[in-house]
Amino acid sequence: MSEIATETEPDAAETSLDEDDRMKPEFIDSVMERVDAGDAEGARALVAPLHPADIADLFELAPSDARRPLATALADLLDGDVLAEMNDWVREELIDALHPHEVAELATQLDTDDAVAIIEDMEEDDQRAVLRAMEPDDRAAIEEALSFPEESAGRLMQRDLIAVPEHWSVGDVLDYLRRNEDLTTDFWEIYVVDSRHHPIGTCKLSWVMRTPREIAIADVMAREQTLIPVDMDQEEVALRFQKYALISAAVVDQAGRLVGMITVDDVVHIIQEEAGEDILKLSGAGDGDINEPIGTTIRTRLSWLVVNLGTAILAASVVGLFQRTIAAFALLAVLMPIVSGMGGNAGTQTMAVAVRALALNQLTSSNTQRMILREFRIALANGLALGTLIGTAVALVYGNRDLGFVIFLAMVVNNLTAGLVGILVPVSLDKAGADPAVSSAVFVTTATDVMGFFSFLGLATLWGLGAG
């Protein structure tokens, strides 16, 4: 028996990636030095061993003005798999530099869903040019996918799948798989269909491999299956995969015919995309992509900040109602940001929980009332605890028990407001058909700021602080 070598040459992953699988700066610099020197062959030699996802990372981490020269040098390696893994903004930038026939050639290398992701964001004229350059069968599949709504199962699904008739035996299925070289090679389940091409069951590959040839496929298949309507939103698709622990699922048209399948690797991207999208919407940061053009980012953030400026003016107008009280007792101006700030933080916590629960279908009409009562109890408990802490501290530090009691009451009132608004606003927006992730933050922040100032200054005025 030969001895196992104890020393091996480091592979590309070891030389290009650090312990956290992030691309090393010195590797990027080495590639770019060869590109700048016109040594395309040297650059390709360094990059060729990398996984397509790592090559995509290389393009994303390279300076914006260096991406096109890098693409020229690595033209042989810039295939469909690399583009499919690439950031949307970077991919769009590179595709703009390619000829329509080059884009068409790349698209035909991919599954339909990945090809659609590349073509759907192109200008309409460019789309038509790319589609004209494709083979008729590929063009028909892409055009059909583009006819479905954006972010729907129809855009997400793959057309290449394995479907067999219900009267076949396991032996028939095995012979079919072995004799047809044109069949897709990436699948985990076989779909069993009736004469109308309606899916009636699924059969895992492991079942087929372990079952005698003479057994009917209808006796092996699982009849219970999760079917995905072709127009279902991709977020709902992801929730079904998560809920039922699916590896793949059949997609059906309005007539119930099998038209495609969705696999778990596609859904992983959707889950990541939707989760990040909701967080960024709550902050008003737009796409939040560091590769997004600066002008687009400025417009998105500025529009949100202008809205927040309006809410800040509204909150300031509430403070203006109590100018005399503040002038007579200036300490109120020092303490009132505490009340509004703590209310805002509490409201944001509740709002984040509510938006997440709505997104995951955990919060529905059947448990909304229970959720509201739950958040009310949490807000009351937090308000009493925080109010006691700040009220006691104010009374001891400033030697004014009345002021301590007023800020205690204001803290309780604003925390209750934050808890109720934090749950009611997202639920109301969701019922109205609006996206709670986009609009909730403005309403919740405004409510907690206004109520924070109004409750504290109003109670101080009623209590007579600053009078005389």
Lowest mean pLDDT among 40-54, 94-108, 422-436: 94-108
Q: Residues of the chain with pLDDT > 70: what percent?
A: 92
> Residues 448, 343: contact at Cβ < 8 Å?
yes
Residue 71 banded pLDDT, cuts 50, 70, 90:
confident
Closest CA to 339 of 394, 274, 275: 394
- Please determine, for residue 193, whether its predicted confidence score (pLDDT) is greater than 50: yes
Check residue 79 and give its pLDDT. Answer: 82
Segment (H or E) for 69: helix 67-73
Q: Any alpha helices (H) in 180-263, and if so which ranges?
A: 205-210, 217-220, 234-244
Check residue 10 and give its pLDDT. Answer: 45
Check residue 397 and give its pLDDT. Answer: 93
Check residue 392 and give its pLDDT. Answer: 96
- Please determine, for residue 415, whether its predicted confidence score (pLDDT) is greater than 50: yes
Check residue 285 and give its pLDDT. Answer: 56
Check residue 335 and give its pLDDT. Answer: 92
Enter the DSSP assignment of 211.
S
* pLDDT tens digits along 260-317: 999 888 888 787 776 666 666 665 655 556 666 777 777 777 777 787 788 788 888 8
* pLDDT tens digits along 205-224: 889 999 999 999 999 999 99
Average pLDDT over residues 127-132: 85
Average pLDDT over residues 344-369: 85
Closest CA to 228 of 203, 278, 191: 191
* pLDDT tens digits along 231-255: 999 888 988 998 888 888 999 999 9
What's the whole-number average pLDDT of the chain? Answer: 85
Closest CA to 168 of 227, 221, 223: 221
* pLDDT tens digits along 2-40: 443 334 344 554 577 877 778 888 999 999 999 999 998
Contact residues for 441 (Cβ-Cβ < 8 A; gap 6+): 282, 283, 284, 348, 351
Average pLDDT over residues 425-430: 90
CB-count exposure of residue 423 (10 Å: 0-12, 13-18, 19+): buried
How large is the angle between the packed helices 368-398 and 331-359, nearest 10 degrees?
160
